[in-house]
Structure 1
Amino acid sequence: MTVPDLVRHDGAPLAVLVCEALPRSGENGPGSYNMTVLRAVAALGYRLHLIVTGLNVAGERVEPELPCTVSYLHARPVGRWLLPLSLSAAARWLKNRLGLKVRKGAADKVAWIGRFLSEAEVVRIGQSLPPVPVDLLLIDTIFRADALRAIPQARNKVLIAHDVFHQRCASFRANGFMPRPAVEADLEAQRVATFDAIIAINPHDATELAAMAPAAGVRTILPVVANAGRVQLQSGAHEREPHRIFYLGSKAYHNVDGLRWFLEHVWPVVRANVPDAHMDVAGGVCGEFSGDQPGVTLHGRVEDLSVITRHCSFAVNPVLMGSGIKIKMVDYFCLGLGCITTGNGAAGFPEQPPPPFDVAEGKADFAASVVGAMQQPDHAALLRERTIAYTPHFSHEAAVARLRELLVSAVATPAPAPATAAARP
Structure 2
Amino acid sequence: MTGAIPEARSHSARAARPEHRYRVLFVSRKLPFADGGGNGAYANDLLQWLVARGAAVDCLLLTELDDSTIPPLWSIPQKGMSGIRVINPGAFRVGDRYLHPWRFVRRKPDPARAVRTTAPSVAAERVAVKQAVSRGKYDAILMNYLWLAPACAGHGVTTLALTHDVWSDRAAGAEYVYTADEEAALLNSADHVLAISPYDATRFEQMGVSKPVHVLYKALAAAPPEDSSPPSARCLFVGSGYGPNAEGLAWFLEKVWPIVLEELPSAHLDVCGAVCGSVKEAPLNVHLHGRVADLGEFYHRAAVAIVPLLRGTGLKIKLVEAVSYRKPVVSTSIGLQGIEQLIGHGVDRADAARDFATNVLRHLSDPASAGREGLLARREAERFLSSDTAYAPVWEIMSTSAK
TM-fit CA distance, 1:289: 3.8
- Residues in 1 aligned to 2:140 and 2:103: alpha-carbon distance in whole angstroms: 29
Q: Structure 1 residue 347 and structure 2 residue 351: aligned? A: no
TM-fit CA distance, 1:397: 1.9
Partner of 1:68: 84
CA distance 1:18–1:388, shift in 2 (3 Å): same
Q: Structure 1 residue 412 and structure 2 residue 384: aligned? A: no
| Structure 2 counterpart SS, 1:351 | helix
- Residues in 1 aligned to 2:329 and 2:141: alpha-carbon distance in whole angstroms: 36
CA distance 1:244–1:13, shift in 2 (3 Å): closer
Task: Please tell me the residue identity of whatever aligns with 2:167.
Answer: F
Task: Please tell me the residue identity of whatever aligns with 1:161.
Answer: T
Partner of 2:299: 309
Partner of 1:16: 25
TM-fit CA distance, 1:339: 0.9
- Residues in 2 aligned to 1:113 and 1:317: alpha-carbon distance in whole angstroms: 26
Q: 1:159-170, aligned counterparts within 5 Å?
A: 159-169=161-171
- Residues in 2 aligned to 1:391 and 1:25: alpha-carbon distance in whole angstroms: 21
TM-fit CA distance, 1:199: 1.6
Contact persistence 2:185–2:209 (CA under 8 A) = no
Deviations 1:85-135 (CA, angstroms, capped at 9, x unpaired): 679x9569xxxxxxxxxxxxxxxxxxx993322333333443455612222
- Number of aligned residue pairs: give it: 372
Which of 225, 228, 233 is residue 235 of structure 1 equivalent to?
A: 228
Task: Please tell me the residue identity of whatever aligns with 2:192.
Answer: A
Q: Structure 1 residue 126 and structure 2 residue 119: aligned? A: no
CA distance 1:129–1:309, shift in 2 (3 Å): same
Normalised by the size of structure 2, how large is the TM-score? 0.80
- Residues in 2 aligned to 1:124 and 1:67: alpha-carbon distance in whole angstroms: 22
Which of 223, 246, 249 is residue 239 of structure 2 equivalent to?
A: 249
Q: 1:19-418, aligned counterparts within 5 Å?
A: 19-53=28-62, 57-58=70-71, 59-63=74-78, 65-72=81-88, 82=98, 90=107, 114-129=118-133, 131-149=135-153, 152-169=154-171, 177-210=172-205, 216-227=211-222, 230=223, 234-236=227-229, 239-241=230-232, 243-289=233-279, 292-351=282-341, 354-377=344-367, 380-392=370-382, 393-408=384-399, 412-414=401-403
- Residues in 2 aligned to 1:301 and 1:374: alpha-carbon distance in whole angstroms: 24
- Which segment is superposed worse, 212-221 or 177-186? 212-221
- Residues in 2 aligned to 1:297 and 1:333: alpha-carbon distance in whole angstroms: 22
CA distance 1:16–1:68, shift in 2 (3 Å): same
Contact persistence 1:192–1:213 (CA under 8 A) = no
Contact persistence 2:139–2:401 (CA under 8 A) = no
CA distance 1:316–1:214, shift in 2 (3 Å): closer
TM-fit CA distance, 1:205: 1.9
Contact persistence 1:202–1:222 (CA under 8 A) = yes
Contact persistence 2:139–2:398 (CA under 8 A) = no
| Structure 1 counterpart SS, 2:36 | coil
| Structure 2 counterpart SS, 1:188 | helix
CA distance 1:315–1:45, shift in 2 (3 Å): same
CA distance 1:113–1:360, shift in 2 (3 Å): farther
CA distance 1:350–1:407, shift in 2 (3 Å): farther
Q: CA RMSD in A?
A: 3.3
Contact persistence 1:354–1:386 (CA under 8 A) = no
Partner of 2:113: none
Deviations 1:368-400 (CA, angstroms, capped at 9, x unpaired): 332343235465345313223123122222134
CA distance 1:353–1:39, shift in 2 (3 Å): farther
Task: Please tell me the residue identity of whatever aligns with 2:155.
Answer: Q
Structure 2 residue runs of 5 or longer lacking an equivalent are: 1-14, 110-115
Task: Please tell me the residue identity of whatever aligns with 1:141.
Answer: Y
CA distance 1:90–1:154, shift in 2 (3 Å): farther
Deviations 1:156-191 (CA, angstroms, capped at 9, x unpaired): 11111211222333xxxxxxx454422212111111
- Which segment is superposed worse, 19-28 or 203-212? 203-212
- Residues in 2 aligned to 1:124 and 1:403: alpha-carbon distance in whole angstroms: 24
TM-fit CA distance, 1:66: 3.0
TM-fit CA distance, 1:201: 0.8
Normalised by the size of structure 1, how large is the TM-score? 0.76
Partner of 1:419: none
- Give the share of equivalent positions with the same residue, in percent: 26
- Which segment is superposed worse, 309-318 or 121-130? 121-130
CA distance 1:362–1:78, shift in 2 (3 Å): farther
Task: Please tell me the residue identity of whatever aligns with 1:21.
Answer: K
TM-fit CA distance, 1:50: 0.6
- Residues in 2 aligned to 1:75 and 1:383: alpha-carbon distance in whole angstroms: 50
TM-fit CA distance, 1:261: 2.6
TM-fit CA distance, 1:343: 0.9
| Structure 2 counterpart SS, 1:15 | strand
- Residues in 1 aligned to 2:271 and 2:107: alpha-carbon distance in whole angstroms: 31
Partner of 2:7: none
- Which segment is superposed worse, 136-145 or 42-51? 42-51
